Amino acid sequence: MSSLELKDVRKAFGATPVLDGVSLTMEPREFIAFLGPSGSGKSTLLRIIAGLETLDQGEVWLEGRRIDPLPPGARGVAMVFQHYALYPHMSVRENMAFGLRNARVPRDEIESRVGEAARVLEIEDHLDKKPGQMSGGQRQRVAIGRAIVKHPRLFLLDEPLSNLDAALRMRTRVELAQLRQRVDAAFIMVTHDQAEAMTLADRIVVMNDRTIQQIGLPMEIYTRPANAFVARFVGSPAMTLAPAELAESESEYARVRLGDGALVETRVKRAGLPSGAKLQLGLRPEMVSVAEAGAGTADAKVVLLERLGERTLVYSVLADGLEMIAQDEGVSRLQVGDRIGLRIEGAVAHLFGPDGAAFHPEQSA
Amino acid sequence: MNAERDWRGLLFVAPFLLLYSIILVFPLFRGMWLSLHRVDLFGDGNFVGFGNYARLAGDPVFATSLANTFIVTLMIVPVLSVLALLLALALNSAGRGTAIVRGIFFSSAVLSVTIVTLIWRFVLAPDAGLLGEAWQALGWDPLPFLSDPDLVLPALAITTIWWSLGLPMLLFLAGLQQIPGDMYEAASLDNASRWRTFWRITVPSLRRTILLVVMLQTAAQLQIFGQAQLLTGGGPSGASRTAVLFLFETAFGRWELGYASAAAEILFLIILAVTLTQYWATGRATEAQGG
């Protein structure tokens, strides 16, 4: 039986549509990340699943049961709020027990569930504290604990790591990954941080503009983005999209000409490409390397260097003004203002049609 | 260097300190001094020690006025606090409609006591008033609110509640708007009924506001005066004479300033004691429930 199933969910606030027919099926125990920029509708979708928002049309099913007409507390879901939403006047123990008491779970059962969750989350010594006496990371654990004790079928995490500092975020990320191994439930996490989504999720749902852009494995989203939006949104720094047009070629693969006249041989099948249309060549930094001026595919001038240690990102400008990011070794001797050649590895480059649709290179086996 | 700086700082607060001393500090001590003397409007009077206090202890009129004050305060404060909270809950939503209704409910608070009592004199009048008409329409005899000794304190309480509803309502509204919305969402995911959400989320979150409202209103209503003086003049036969009305009559009717000051000191101590007790009791209660 599938875990969560969304069937053509639609939602509008007044005249403003926020979700245009979203459908999704989750496997049991799957961890899915909703990834997208703010305003993409991902939080609204999460709140619809939780029951905090109504839907205008469509259905929500959880393990064979239709839940969208049910009140939030009866859906078998638990939510970890972005700002935790702990009850400040209750102790940690009461915070975790509140939902169970409302559900009339027997007292000793509540005891044991709260104790177990506290042990797993290492907050046993803080059970009698108030949230106000705890650090941000500890509150986060309480919020997770409050969700765990309910033994939900689905965890909903709303930007769970966004309020933690960088070090704590890394640690909590690892802990979340461990937690899901222990818990027999599915997870949905809303995030705008692609690193979180890539590391935690089994599948990523990329959302933009009220709709799902792509559902796929993390590496699939990265290597075979469904469209120009996904290609630009996932990956840091963003993929360069260079305007290009088809050039004459005998090969079955497309050869494209960039704005400055440089020719790039791709491994994208010529057949199927929209004929005569303006295309875009999609290049991640690792597909572009640095060469002597005149020795590469195109010549460019260095405008900015980002030295990241193990590699250097080279921001350069082509003769026609196009910005392109290349990658060089960590101890690059380049200087801003240098004239360089860019060697474009056309065999792994993507092409995008005028509507943003992606055309991927044939995978060389 | 340090001393110099201190003096300059003092200059900035001097205007306030001066006014504060003249208007509050001096009368406070002058009142204490007066309460130990037998004084009339002319001259400094003569020292009588605690004579005024001893006389008050045996004065049945003062005792009745204190009792009336307590009764009317007990009638007003709980009803006023609950009504204000219910109104605030009802009006705690955005929108033009509620903003207008809030304004209407608050409007009575800007009226002076003279106008309030004028209005309620009409409302309470048995033969022609609103309540009288309503009673008659229901086939009952109209109640003589202002001339029946058993009804005059409730009448005073109703008038005061109507007049004082605005401020506590605003305080509760402000308190309600401080409660983060995601706490209610968490409660709904925690399967909490509306009733349980109210008692376990809303009320504990409003704890400080409730304490503030009850303390402010208790202190205010123990000094109830204008309504009693203007509605009934303390009558019939002292049934609505409050402590401050007693003070007023003693000081400016019989010109016994020392005696009135002693009564004022006692009222001051009572209000202080009641307020501190409330503060202490609330602190204990919240500690006990772990709040």
Closest CA to B77 of B208, B203, B165: B165
Contacts of B183 in chain A (CB under 8 A): 85, 87
Contact B188 A94 (CB under 8 A): no
Which range has highest mean pLDDT (B132-141, B142-151, B160-169)? B160-169
3-state secondary structure A3-20: CEEEEEEEEEECCEEEEE
Residue B227: pLDDT over 90: no
- A78 in contact with B, Cβ within 8 Å: yes
What would the two tokens of residue B132 be? 């009288």
- Sign of the CA dihedral A187, A188, A190, A193? positive
Closest CA to B198 of B104, B69, B63, B90: B90
pLDDT score for B291:
43
Render pLDDT for A119-143 as a digit per residue (tens, 0 to 9): 988 899 999 999 999 988 899 999 9
Residues B171-197 have pLDDT tens digits of 999 999 999 999 999 999 999 999 999
| pLDDT over threshold 90, residue A98 | yes
Give B204-223 pLDDT, tens digit per residue.
999 889 999 999 999 999 99
B269 with B51: CB under 8 angstroms? no
Distance from CA of A94 to the nearest CA of B (A): 10
The domain defined by A240-359 folds into OB fold (Dihydrolipoamide Acetyltransferase, E2P) (2.40.50)
Regarding predicted confidence, which is higher, B44 or A353?
A: A353
Q: Which amino acid is at A96?
A: M
pLDDT in tens, A250-304: 888 889 999 888 889 999 988 888 877 789 999 999 999 999 888 888 999 999 9
Q: Is the pLDDT of residue B287 over 80?
A: no
**Domain residue extents for chain A:** 4-226, 240-359
Whether the Cβ atoms of residue B213 and residue B81 lie closer than 8 Å to each other: yes
Q: Of A194-208, B23-37, B133-147, which gets the smallest average pLDDT?
A: B133-147
Contact check, Cβ <8 Å, A81/B185:
yes
Could you tell me the pLDDT band of residue B290, with boundaries at 50, 70 and 90? very low
| pLDDT tens per residue across span A59-96 | 999 999 999 999 999 999 999 999 999 999 999 999 99
Which chain B residues have a beta carbon less than 8 Å from that of A94? 290
Whether residues B188 and A98 touch (CB distance < 8 A) is answered with: no
Nearest to A156 by CA among A280, A221, A62: A62
A4-226: CATH homologous superfamily? Answer: P-loop containing nucleotide triphosphate hydrolases (3.40.50.300)
pLDDT mean across residues, chain B: 87
Percent of chain A with pLDDT over 90: 66
Residues of A in contact with B201 (CB under 8 A): 87
Whether B182 sits inside 8 A of A99 (CB atoms) is no
Of A317-326, B117-126, B149-158, B259-268, which gets the smallest average pLDDT? B117-126
- pLDDT at position B39 over 50: yes
Residues B192, A98: C-beta atoms closer than 8 Å:
yes
For position B4, what pLDDT does the model report? 60
Domains in chain B with CATH codes: 56-288 (1.10.3720.10)
Q: CB of A351 within 8 A of CB of A254?
A: yes
Residue A93 to residue A123: CA distance in whole angstroms: 10
Helices (H) and strands (E) in chain B, counts: 16, 2
Q: What's the mean pLDDT in B236-246?
A: 89
State in Å, rounded, how far the first CA of chain A is from the last one.
Answer: 35
User: How far apart are the C-alpha atoms of B80 and B64, rounded to whole Å?
Assistant: 24
Is the reported ipTM for this assembly greater than 0.90? no
CB-based contact (8 Å) between B189 and chain A? yes
Task: Report long-range pairs for B231-236 (Cβ below 8 Å, ≥24 apart).
Answer: B231/B117, B231/B120, B231/B121, B231/B124, B231/B146, B231/B155, B231/B156, B231/B159, B232/B146, B232/B152, B232/B156, B235/B147, B235/B152, B236/B147, B236/B148, B236/B149, B236/B152
* A260, A298 contact by CB (below 8 A): yes
pLDDT at A92: 95
- Contacting residues of B for A87, CB less than 8 Å apart: 183, 186-187, 200-201, 204
User: How far are the Cα atoms of A77, A129, B84, B149 from residue B76, in angstroms, in the given order?
Assistant: 46, 38, 12, 18
**pLDDT value of residue B288:** 52
d(CA A308, CA A323): 20
Residue B65, pLDDT score: 93
Choose among A79, A87, A91: nearest Cβ to B189: A79
CA–CA dist B115, B113 (Å, integer): 5
**A85·B193 Cβ contact <8 A:** no
Residue B126 is predicted with a pLDDT of 76
Partners of A81 on chain B (C-beta within 8 Å) are: 182, 185-186
